[in-house]
Chain A
Amino acid sequence: MTKQAWFAAAMSLVLVFAARGAGAVDVQQEETVSGGTATAAQDTSNAGKEEAADTTEVDIFKPSWESKMTGNDSELKLSSTARVQLEPGGGWIFTNRTNVQKRIFRLLDTYELTEELSASASKFEPDLYLFSFRIGENYTRKTLLGLARYGKDLVIDTESATFSFVLTRPVLGARSSQISINGDARRGLNDFKYDRTLSGGTGAFLRYGISDSLRVSGGAGTSRRRQASEIGSVIAFDGMPSRTDTLRAFVEYGVSKKKPFHLAYNWSDGIDRKVTPPRGNALEILDDPEAAREEEEHKIGQSIDMTSFFQPLSFVSVDLAFEHNNNEQKNRVDTRLNKKTEGTEITAKVLYEYAERGRMSFTIENAKSDVDLGPLSLGSYEEKDKKFGMGIAHRITDSLGVTLRGSVSLNQRFLKKREQNPRDLDVLYYAGSANMTAVPFSGVNTSVNFTFNRRETINIDRTLSADNRIDYLYQFVPVLRLKPAYWVTVNQNYTLKFESTEFVFDENNNTLDRTIGVETLAQFTIRWFITFAFRHEYQKRDTGSYRRRDGERRYGRTAENIDNDLDLRLTYRPNPEFAIRGGAKFQTQESSRLAKQGTQTVVVSSNTFESGEFRVGLDRKRNIGAGGVFDLKIDYVRRYGPNVTAERREYWIIDASLKFAF
């Protein structure tokens, strides 16, 4: 443990003794949220509650402890968190938190240990300021087998001290404002390097109300960072300065939730300097520490968003949106990351309520973007997107409704270096759906859904156009839900699905998948404390294609799969804090490969595959004294099948916790 960590631990002891000395006092406070390090927002919220709370006698000293264990077939996680909070009054909150967590990844032979220790103090003075200070240490060690080959674990061990001060009293005639200043000092090991960092920033945000309906707000911020990094004891990079400057501005007109006019502008400019390995691969540094370089990443970005909502008639509303952004990134060392993007998008949506029970919507979208990946890349391109959509929703009666939707879109990509990289591409997409829901009798719900999609992929250049294809999807799904008695519900879903890929220039690559499925779900409440659930799914899928033989298009099947899944679950829950659960899952799959022999389609090979699991579990929750809770969920799972890993053949799922708030 470092000096800061010892200091944090010592500070918690000081708080404990201080609180014991003070004892319980009569203060106007409520219980605060437990768990997690106290943040400025949380502190504000707690302090705000003080104003409205009653005069219940509450301890000013709130220690708590939680131990947790979760485990399943892939990982086991153990954690322990101790937290001490002291609220002596006057807006002050002192918090000390210690957390230790260990994760063992059973299937991957990797381990992770995390320790966090922090102490924080904050003070909130309503309508004046918020101050917080925190010191802490974070330690993470990950053991990966590949890295262990280097005799090294992945270690992140950082000590830090931060402070922030926010002036919340409105200044310069603003309706509300926030002026902040913050600082951060940290040092520690970050995988392959040891960093020492000093950073700080300041910002201001002011909000003015010109009138009840017109508001103008804006802010600016700047931050600076200076970092020194060492790799081993030889390679050192000193005084790498970084900076970020931001600017935000908003104009808003209107009093309703959706504003007739809203404009937002954001701008940022930052230079980030840090030590990086070649191609971002830290392993190369382990082989050769001198390969490390000081990278300078310069990012500039700005965006403007404008939205407008108006209702010219009581039954017509219009939503308009305009968005424009441009961003640029320049890297001094890894120039492959250089890029410059610019995009503009305009969207218009009209909603028309043509009847009391019906409405229509129309949407138009138009977008254009430009992506420039630098002079070395061949991948720079321009892209255009257009989309039109419409929908109708109509309730014919209280128990019968219809929804129709349709859309068409075209995406076009234009490569800038088409001669060297001829990947110009158009994608034309049509989608349609119809849905009807009905309640013909009490306890009977029905719905029918039909979906149609057509996606055409068009490579323009002759070197790629052989890959041009059209993907079709037709899906028909009727659903029936029955509740004949209070103790039983039955759902049945039917699926008919046709999915095909048709190549434009070569029909021999075409495929067609046809799926028929029936899913039945039933739930029975045998007694109020015993429920039994049943689920069966049948699915038959065949794969084949329509191909041209002797001038005719004929369908030929190449494979057939039949699946049956059965899932049974029984739950005994005599009270909300205790339950015993049991279940079983059986899955069978019959797969056949088919071929044409003369005029007949015959089975060439066939195999049956079975898998499943049995599971029993227990839920138990129990209060221990006034402030303790024990919560346990445990399941034993046994799986079977031809290819099940040893770790997954038989395992426990555990979710257990023990909490004490003293």
Chain B
Amino acid sequence: MCQAGCIFDPREAEDPAGEDDTCWIPPNAPTDVFSNLDCGLGSAGNSSYERSLDPDFVFIPRPGYDGPGNFEEWDFTQEMDFVTKLKGDYQGERSIRFGDAEGRFERWDVATSDATYWGEYRITLDSGTGTDPDIFAGKAEFHIVRGTKGWVIKKWEDYDVVDSFPTSANIRGSYQQ
């Protein structure tokens, strides 16, 4: 749509080196979103994570959180910016487990157009340098809504801690621009 030399001419991409690691599944059920967020954080590309977020996504830290970051306007753009920077610094394995060790939530409420889950999450980040992975964990409310492209997460609100792990706000705040 834009001829070479025009100011809106993007750079040429290199041909892919290997197989695509996209692990996206069409989000036909609310819990598909958790799977897509996990695979989206773990994969090199951002498409799975990005497509799992509602355009009006918000993150809210736990009550009394006093760590780094300003979360008054944590939105879709901030979340994707955070994920991109995180992947640059943690180039080893990355994962998010939603629910307890068996994947169970404390509560859930599912209607036809929105669903809410309350329970644990655990983010494991390996820098790939041989040191122990960093773990961030807590309890959160996940509000998931059904849009015209399937289910997407609209709100992630931390409400409690798990053991003495730092919560997701600590790692999000550390990467805030």
A contacts, CB < 8 Å to B: 105, 107-108, 110, 112, 142, 144-147, 154, 156, 190-191, 277, 279-284, 286-287, 334, 336-337, 339, 341, 371, 373, 377-379, 386, 388, 408-410, 412, 415, 420-421, 423-424, 426, 428, 430, 454, 456-469, 497, 499, 501, 503-506, 509, 511, 513, 515, 541, 543, 558-559, 561, 563, 565, 587-589, 591, 593, 609-611, 641-645, 648
Contact = CB atoms under 8 A, between A and B. Distances in A.
Given A559-B26, A565-B112, 12 more contacts: A144-B62, A144-B159, A144-B160, A280-B166, A337-B68, A458-B13, A463-B17, A464-B44, A499-B148, A499-B149, A504-B13, A588-B112
B164 A286 contact: yes
A558 B11 CA distance: 34
Contact of B67 (A279, A378, A469): A279
Given A563-B113, A643-B109, A648-B109, A146 B160 contact: yes
B73 interface: no
Given A589-B112, A643-B110, A513 B13 contact: no
Contact of A497 (B16, B17, B63, B148): B148
Contacts of B18: 466
Interface residues of B, number: 68
A490 B9 CA distance: 47
Contact of B88 (A339, A377, A408, A591): A377
Contact of A466 (B20, B91, B165): B20
3 closest A-B pairs by beta carbon, nearest first, are A280-B67, A467-B45, A466-B20
Contacts of A509: 20, 22, 24
B88 A378 contact: yes
Contacts of B148: 497, 499, 513, 515, 541
Contact of B174 (A337, A341, A421, A648): A337
Nearest to A588: B112
A561 B10 contact: no
Interface in B8-30: 8-22, 24, 26, 28
Interface of B is mostly: loop
B67 A645 contact: no
A294 to B, nearest CB: 16
**Which of B16, B162, B167 has the largest count of A CB atoms less than 10 A from its CB?**
B16
B10 A430 contact: no
Interface in B142-174: 148-150, 159-167, 170, 173-174
Interface string B42-61: 01111100010000000000
Given A108-B118, A144-B62, A459 B45 contact: yes
Contacts of A426: 10-11
Contacts of B4: none
B159 to A, nearest CB: 5
Nearest to A421: B88
A519 B10 CA distance: 40
A561 B28 contact: yes
Contacts of B9: 410
A561 B64 CA distance: 41
B8 A410 contact: yes
B47 A458 contact: no
A355 to B, nearest CB: 30
Contacts of B167: 281
A388 B17 CA distance: 34
B139 interface: yes
Contacts, number: 216
A128 B90 CA distance: 59
A110 B166 contact: no
A506 B166 contact: no
B68 A467 contact: no
A588 B148 CA distance: 16
B89 A279 contact: no
A584 B51 CA distance: 33
Contacts of B10: 410, 412, 426, 428, 456, 458
B87 interface: yes
A626 to B, nearest CB: 41
Contact of A107 (B20, B67, B118): B118
Contact of A467 (B11, B44, B149): B44
Contact of A281 (B16, B22, B164): B164
Contacts of A108: 118, 141, 159-160
B14 A339 contact: no
Given A497-B148, A499-B149, A459 B64 contact: no
Contacts of A461: 14
A503 B44 CA distance: 15
Contacts of A456: 10
A463 B8 CA distance: 24
A339 B10 CA distance: 28
Contacts of B14: 460-462, 465
B166 A281 contact: yes
A644 to B, nearest CB: 6
A378 B64 contact: no
B88 A645 contact: no
A146 B174 contact: no
B111 interface: yes
A373 B85 contact: yes
A651 B177 CA distance: 42
A461 B175 CA distance: 23
A641 B111 contact: yes
Given A499-B149, A513-B150, A611-B111, A466 B19 contact: yes
B113 A279 contact: no
Nearest to A153: B64
A277 B170 CA distance: 11
A379 B20 contact: no
B161 A283 contact: yes
Nearest to A428: B10
A480 to B, nearest CB: 21
Given A460-B11, A558-B26, A469 B66 contact: no
A511 B26 contact: yes
A513 B163 CA distance: 42
A423 B21 CA distance: 16
B45 A464 contact: yes
Nearest to B84: A423
B1 interface: yes
Given A107-B118, A108-B159, A412-B10, A467 B22 contact: yes
Contacts of B1: 430, 454
B67 A281 contact: yes
A631 B107 CA distance: 34
Given A154-B64, A465-B13, A642 B110 contact: yes
B161 A466 contact: no
Contacts of B43: 467
A341 B149 contact: no
Contact of A341 (B8, B51, B115, B177): B177
A144 B63 contact: yes
A374 to B, nearest CB: 11
